[in-house]
Structure 1
Amino acid sequence: MNHLLEHKKVAIIGGGPGGLTLANLLQQKGIAVKVYERDANQYTRQQGATLDLHHESGLKALSKAGLLEEFKKHYRIGADKLCITNAQATPLWDDHQDEVIADFGNEDFRPEIDRGPLRDILIEALLPETIIWNSHFEKLQPLENGWEIFFKNGNSAYADLVIGVDGANSKIRPYLSNISPIYSGITIVEGNIYHAAQNAPTLWKMTNGGKIFAMGSEKSLILSTKGDGALSFYTGTKEAENWLQTCAIDFTNKDSVKKWFMESYADWSDIWLEIFDTNESYFVPRPMYHFPLNQSWETQSNLTIIGDAAHRMPPYAGEGVNMAMQDALELAEALTESNFSSIQDALQAFEKQMLARTSVVTQDTLINTDLIHSENGLAEMLAFFKVENKDEAEIV
């Protein structure tokens, strides 16, 4: 089949779910594609929390890549079960007792998978040596009609088309856009407890194979179990944009983080302090940013970005990975299955569609973010779930 990328070399910068999905979709069309990933190898980093994939985006992209059946073998049944509590850890809504139905044709079914296994599925479907590990991007330089790509290890590579999928702090994005992100007002402290059944037994039991969403005093705390026996968590608090520079917290020291948590969450139950009872953990602060809802840039003929590089947003709607995978699907279709006369025309149509779609999702995410961290956030969240599930129980 003839397409715009025939006899072209494509470079994808970033080996997360979005970049790997795109690589699979392009490779299926016989396109010469390489993924450049800064990790030393497939198993270098501890991957983050669980991901829920959505029918119209993440799952659709996997299906188009021919990987849905493989996904079904590895997703975690019941990991989407949720318990909502107040600051005192009192369960106020819990769907753990509901029957688990694997309904992949239902648009409301959002199966969960750990990031590591999802990444493995996508990697193993690629041709050998598609991923060039230990390739930490340094800079781009125009060469002929494409780009020479330079990496921090001293290597370089040529590509006719470069696609940046290198995350929220993308180094590719500045070659397209100088639009700065906007601080959401919320900063997350993300962490992970290994061997949580032993190291945080009370919280591990409370999560019951799924998630806990605790809210109170305009703060949040989300816990998620992982298939490897770890418990991931992230706090959500209202902080100044320069808080990391002024807070004097040593995030490599759990006692320093615990001191902050005890002060910030002073009216919360001591149950949550179990997070700090082990040295088998880590903490990473992440201020939450988003891009303007009306952002745009001038389309280039040989460069584009997708995923968080294009439209970063807070995590309070579970859309980040899904938008990245939908971007991958729509970009692959624009480049290989549409009747555009040039790569630039295809990119322009794709970028316009992507930015319109993710503007709506960003707006919805910001509404959720504000609601969760509002004075009446807990009551509104409970009302939403109880209406959704036609549950008439009283809020206690």
Structure 2
Amino acid sequence: MNSVRDPRIAIVGAGLGGLTCARVLQQHGRAVTVFEREASAAARPQGGTLDLHADTGQAALRAAGLLDRFHALARPEGDEWRVLDFATAAPLAQQGPSASDTRPEIDRGQLRGLLLDSITGGTVRWDRAVSGVTPLADGTCRLLFADGTAEDFDLVIGADGAWSRVRPALSHAVPGYTGVTFIETGFDHCDTRHPDLARLVGNGSMLVKGAGMSLVAQRNSNGHIRAYIALRAPQDWHVAAGIDLGDERAVRRHLLMMFDGWDESLRYILRNGDNGFVNRSLFVLPASHTWEHVPGVTLLGDAAHLMPPVGLGANLAMLDGADLARALVAESRTDDAVRAYESVMLPRSIEAATASAQGLDHLVPAIAP
């Protein structure tokens, strides 16, 4: 009696999209292995807060059977925005949290932890860096590791982010600089140590816009505020300014000079961060990024559609993961499943990437609003 074995599936990258895909596959009894280059789940901070949208991120969590656990951790009050005037810090616009919890906030690290806890122990192989993939003539794919070893799979899913090692098997596209850099800082125990800033930011996010520069501050869990100084500038702006990014005082002096004329309550963000400064140049793939189908390999999340961080990327990565997993369960042939997934994901991501580019222009306008 002949039996049909389940496909051998590898996911490269233990981020939100890859873990969502793994969780949904395992819910349906499918075997999957996740390869992650980092040594452990605690290898590095996971970033700031995310608003999960009802029709994307939350829909993915519903498919993964994790929506109730998400709501137990989420902060619906975090779905609050206020826009302030740069010269006076007076409110220009404000939006309270939605009564329907359509976009509650959650720290990225908490969300990743929720997904990691939901999958079978040993699913993620930590400290297993991938160097590339080679599609094979029989429709399978060879996964190449940085240590020189290799393993073959029926499907390799590239969920390995902006600088994906899987993407070159499908596309020659490489991320390009947007012209915008975020400089990140943070404030601990903000309600007691930074109460005036805490009042300015409120329960959610604060935005202040000038000409080619903005300040964004977001409340995270545990009394932490994460702030971003957003600049339209060359990627090597610090070189032209003669600043060593490791010299916190020099960076601070330069930013204070750039934000001269802004209200002192806003310049507090530049003067008093607890966590120094981290320079983050923003890169994107072309909004129209697509590829010709190749058997044995596909992409999801930033590996497929890297876009500006204006609220869509993580949500789409999770929806990608859930959609791909459900297609793999529904279709009898792996290649048919991947084709079905790509036929939905690629047009969706082109639309979202276009909207995200417009969102970045709104977030950091070239001229004063």
Q: TM-score, normalised by structure 2?
A: 0.89
Higher mean C-alpha deviation, range 148-157 or range 193-202: 148-157
1:239 pairs with 2:238: no
| Correspondence for 2:174 among 169, 180, 194 | 180
Aligned-residue identity in percent: 34
The alignment partner of 2:229 has SS state of strand
Cα distance in 2 for partners of 1:50, 1:152 equals: 32
The alignment partner of 1:60 has SS state of helix
| Correspondence for 1:136 among 112, 115, 129 | 129
Structure 1 position 122, deviation (Å): 0.7
| Alpha carbons of structure 1 residues 330 and 231: separation in structure 2 relative to 1, 3 Å | same
Cα distance in 2 for partners of 1:73, 1:155 equals: 42
Residue pair 2:186, 2:273 contacting (<8 A) in 1 also: no
Partner of 2:91: 91
Q: Which amino acid aligns with 1:326?
A: L
Partner of 1:272: 266
Cα distance in 2 for partners of 1:137, 1:246 equals: 35
Structure 1 position 274, deviation (Å): 2.9
Partner of 1:60: 59
Partner of 2:363: 372
| Correspondence for 2:317 among 313, 319, 324 | 324
Give RMSD over aligned pairs. 2.6
Q: Which amino acid aligns with 1:90?
A: A
Gaps of 5+ in 2: none
Residue pair 1:193, 1:280 contacting (<8 A) in 2 also: yes
Q: Which amino acid aligns with 1:86?
A: D
| Correspondence for 1:203 among 197, 206, 216 | 197
Q: Which amino acid aligns with 1:319?
A: L
Gaps of 5+ in 1: 379-396
Q: Which amino acid aligns with 1:374?
A: P
Cα distance in 1 for partners of 2:145, 2:247 equals: 32
Higher mean C-alpha deviation, range 143-152 or range 120-129: 143-152
Partner of 1:294: 288
Task: Write out per-residue CA displacement over residues 71-98 of structure 1, whole angstroms, 9 at most, x where no aligned residue.
Answer: 11100131111211121322222345x7
The alignment partner of 1:285 has SS state of strand
Task: Write out per-residue CA displacement over residues 114-153 of structure 1, whole angstroms, 9 at most, x where no aligned residue.
Answer: 1111111111110111111222322335677534434446
Partner of 1:384: none
Task: Write out per-residue CA displacement over residues 314-335 of structure 1, whole angstroms, 9 at most, x where no aligned residue.
Answer: 122x101111011112211222
Cα distance in 1 for partners of 2:271, 2:234 equals: 28
Partner of 2:17: 18
Residue pair 1:134, 1:153 contacting (<8 A) in 2 also: no
Q: Which amino acid aligns with 1:353?
A: V
Residue pair 1:21, 1:65 contacting (<8 A) in 2 also: yes
| Alpha carbons of structure 1 residues 170 and 248: separation in structure 2 relative to 1, 3 Å | farther
Higher mean C-alpha deviation, range 254-263 or range 69-78: 254-263
Cα distance in 1 for partners of 2:131, 2:243 equals: 30
Cα distance in 2 for partners of 1:134, 1:165 equals: 16
Task: Write out per-residue CA displacement over residues 229-283 of structure 1, whole angstroms, 9 at most, x where no aligned residue.
Answer: 2211112221124436544433333212212211322222232333355573043
Partner of 1:160: 154
| Alpha carbons of structure 1 residues 364 and 377: separation in structure 2 relative to 1, 3 Å | farther
Task: Write out per-residue CA displacement over residues 152-196 of structure 1, whole angstroms, 9 at most, x where no aligned residue.
Answer: 467654432111111112222122211233432222222333333
Q: TM-score, normalised by structure 1?
A: 0.84
> What is the aligned length?
365
Residue pair 2:11, 2:33 contacting (<8 A) in 1 also: yes
Partner of 1:261: 255
